[in-house]
């Protein structure tokens, strides 16, 4: 008799597992209670027995489509793969040569495998919203509903821990640290690094993924630049086996950070510590067993202590390298120079001993250069911050500066902000083709002229700042006179004395409300002690952007003199100069308004214009002061 094939036929598989009394296969799935719930394709899901219901011989029956592989066989195979010693402890493969990555970092990727984290967006959202209902097994089961590979299983577990488990600072600071029970971690959702690592390992094993807890030293909370490590290990993290190779994760540091001033934990997810490239992981993690560095060649503890510590934000913000590559640097003739390379144009700032002073930071296309001049001898703390793609500056690097000499000739203005000089950022803000590309301008007579192109619709504002009372908030723009010629803006600058001054450049889109935005500044230097230039005349709102002043440029006129005036004014019907009396200006063939006035008997002189010939209302555009007689 020939049997007819039926595409809907099913198979019944029975797997008999016999254990000695009181011992169970550590890799086998938990026993199930009767009561079937269909989950499709003929596969049945069994309700779970409580642990104290386990006794006797187990007989598990699976009903499945004929053309599918039995899940029981898959699970039994997994159990054999994870099976360990006689006490039920699993023994995953130890790391070997094929797990090792080259050191130093080759800049190829922040990850230890080819990965685009955008592929996890849906899974991350799902995993972060899963809640604990009963025990760990059910939690893992819920997390794996949307995970379809070992990588996705590990990702779901990682995301859940990083978004739900809080670092227990109080417990971590106890001298006699007690081991956290997994049930307590789930209940309180708090633990220390040992608890994070233990929970991650247990959840991975429930999910069928090999995982190890790795103890060691770390450059974490409380780390001081240049410190040495000895005694008990202060941290723990994990190694997870994916796609035939070991990879490193740290869910403690992936979950958030501790504020060093308040000692409070804040959830702040950090992608950097998921499958981190070992050549980057070694910067702040030193394992007890050098094999878990996953590096070729491995680093010594002395190298770990002396190597430059690049924070995770260093790489998150797109940094590639920094020089010097040592955390402690010494000044040479009172100066230290730091350069950084980034993978894209980035904004930087620095703080020396908590203040943005005593340094010159200039932006480069992909990086920056910082010249720092400590104001006193001794040890100083230098922090460097980068903005990257976000709106927030983050600390990416710290140096300890050792200074044994102070150059008293290098005294920088306190108002000298960063960045220095034109760059890709000033181009982005609409300032193009500057006449002075270097951030420092030296002038022998105390005067200079700076020109640049300005994009259409952009207004420019400049102010001058020194370290004395000669330049006040009211007069800081009076030592600069702004002109516009053939789509070029000119800043004429006259210094009130010898010294160093910060010339700040601001921009604002003409049609948009709000304040001007700082773009960059120049450092103006003059060593001529005879320099005593007065302010320029004060200009009013009706002084047009395309107007031009040839004379007089000094805002203070001599008393009892006839003073010549020459200006180019656009859209004006009449112009005059008003002092004790009124003197009209005439328009010559070259388009300049010319004339003169007497300063006798007056303290102030004004230039006034009539914009419409049909009106008789004159507007003030310039104001001069007259010297006391």
Alpha-carbon Rg for the chain in angstroms: 36
In whole angstroms, give the CA distance from residue 587 to residue 570.
11
In whole angstroms, give the CA distance from residue 176 to residue 173.
9
In whole angstroms, give the CA distance from residue 497 to residue 531.
5
In whole angstroms, give the CA distance from residue 419 to residue 425.
9
Q: 593 in helix, strand or coil?
A: strand
H or E segment to which residue 154 belongs: helix 150-164
Residue 118 CB partners (closer than 8 Å, separation 6+): none
In whole angstroms, give the CA distance from residue 570 to residue 545.
9
290 pairs with which residues across the strands? none
Q: Going edge to edge, which strands form the sheet with 211-218? A: 274-276, 245-249, 235-242, 211-218, 285-287
Q: What does each C-alpha distance from 36 to 43, 44, 56, 63, 348 come to in angstroms?
A: 10, 6, 21, 11, 62
User: In 10 A of CB 196, how many CB atoms?
Assistant: 29
Q: 216 in helix, strand or coil?
A: strand
Residue 570 CB partners (closer than 8 Å, separation 6+): 544, 546, 547
Sign of the torsion angle spanned by Cα atoms 335, 340, 344, 350: negative
DSSP assignment string, 114-133: ---GGGGHHHHHHHHH----
Active site residues: 193, 235, 250
First-to-final CA distance of the chain: 133
Cβ atoms of residues 493 and 503 within 8 Å: yes
Q: Of 219, 222, 231, which Cα lies nearest the Cα of 173?
A: 222
Q: Of 568, 569, 552, which Cα lies nearest the Cα of 605?
A: 552
**Helix-then-strand count for the chain, H and E:** 12, 40
Residue 409 CB partners (closer than 8 Å, separation 6+): none
Residue found under tokens 């943005």: 356
In whole angstroms, give the CA distance from residue 461 to residue 451.
13
């Amino acid at each position: 008799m020939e049997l007819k094939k039926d595409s809907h036929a099913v198979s019944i598989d029975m797997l008999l597992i016999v254990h000695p009394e009181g011992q169970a296969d550590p890799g086998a799935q938990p026993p199930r209670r009767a009561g079937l719930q269909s989950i499709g394709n003929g596969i049945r899901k069994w309700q779970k027995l409580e642990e104290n219901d386990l006794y006797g011989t187990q007989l598990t029956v699976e009903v499945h489509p004929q053309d599918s592989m039995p899940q029981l066989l898959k699970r039994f195979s997994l159990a054999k793969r994870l099976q360990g010693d006689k006490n039920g402890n699993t023994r995953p493969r130890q790391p070997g040569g094929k797990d090792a990555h080259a050191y130093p970092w080759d800049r190829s990727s922040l990850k230890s495998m080819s990965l685009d984290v955008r592929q996890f967006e849906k899974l991350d959202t799902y995993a972060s919203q899963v809640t604990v209902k009963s025990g760990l097994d059910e939690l893992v089961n819920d997390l794996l509903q949307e995970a379809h590979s070992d990588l996705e299983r590990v990702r779901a577990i990682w995301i859940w821990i990083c978004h739900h488990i809080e670092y227990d600072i109080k417990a971590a600071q106890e001298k006699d640290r007690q081991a956290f029970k997994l049930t307590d971690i789930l209940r309180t959702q708090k633990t220390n690094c040992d608890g994070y690592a233990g929970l991650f390992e247990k959840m991975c094993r429930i999910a069928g993924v090999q995982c190890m807890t790795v103890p060691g030293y770390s450059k974490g909370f409380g780390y001081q630049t240049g410190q040495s490590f000895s005694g008990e290990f202060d941290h723990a993290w994990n190694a997870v086996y994916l796609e035939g190779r070991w990879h490193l994760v740290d869910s403690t540091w992936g979950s958030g950070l501790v504020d060093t001033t308040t000692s409070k934990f804040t959830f702040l997810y950090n992608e950097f510590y998921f499958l981190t490239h070992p050549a980057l992981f070694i910067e702040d993690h030193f394992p007890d067993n050098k094999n878990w560095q996953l590096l070729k060649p491995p680093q010594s503890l002395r190298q770990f202590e002396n190597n430059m510590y690049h924070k995770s934000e260093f790489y998150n913000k797109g940094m590639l390298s920094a020089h010097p590559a040592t955390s402690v640097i010494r000044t040479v003739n009172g100066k230290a120079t730091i350069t950084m390379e980034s993978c894209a144009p980035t904004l930087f700032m620095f703080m020396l001993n908590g203040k943005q002073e005593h340094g010159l930071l200039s932006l480069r296309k992909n990086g920056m250069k910082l010249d720092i001049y400590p104001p006193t001898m001794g040890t100083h703390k230098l922090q460097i911050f980068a903005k990257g793609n976000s709106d927030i500056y983050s600390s990416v690097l710290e140096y300890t500066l050792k200074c044994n000499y102070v150059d008293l000739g290098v005294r920088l203005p306190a108002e000298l902000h960063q960045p220095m000089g034109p760059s890709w950022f000033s181009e982005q803000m609409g300032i193009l083709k500057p006449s002075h590309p270097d951030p420092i301008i030296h002038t022998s007579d105390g005067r200079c002229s700076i020109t640049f192109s300005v994009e259409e619709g952009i207004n420019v504002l400049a102010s001058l700042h020194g370290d004395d009372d000669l330049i006040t908030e009211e007069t800081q723009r009076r030592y600069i006179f702004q002109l516009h010629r053939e789509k070029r803006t000119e800043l004429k600058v006259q210094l009130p004395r010898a010294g160093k001054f910060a010339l700040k450049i601001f921009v604002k889109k003409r049609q948009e409300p709000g304040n001007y935005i700082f773009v960059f500044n120049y450092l103006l230097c003059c060593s001529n002690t005879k320099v005593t230039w007065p302010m320029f005349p004060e200009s009013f709102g009706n002084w047009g952007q395309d107007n031009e002043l040839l004379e007089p440029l000094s805002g203070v006129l001599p008393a009892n003199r006839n003073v010549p005036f020459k200006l180019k004014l656009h859209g004006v019907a009449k112009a005059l100069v008003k002092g004790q009396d009124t003197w009209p200006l005439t328009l010559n063939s070259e388009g300049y308004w010319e004339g003169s006035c007497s300063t006798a008997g007056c303290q102030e002189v004004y230039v006034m214009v009539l914009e419409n010939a049909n009106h008789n209302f004159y507007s003030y555009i310039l104001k001069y002061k007259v010297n006391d007689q």
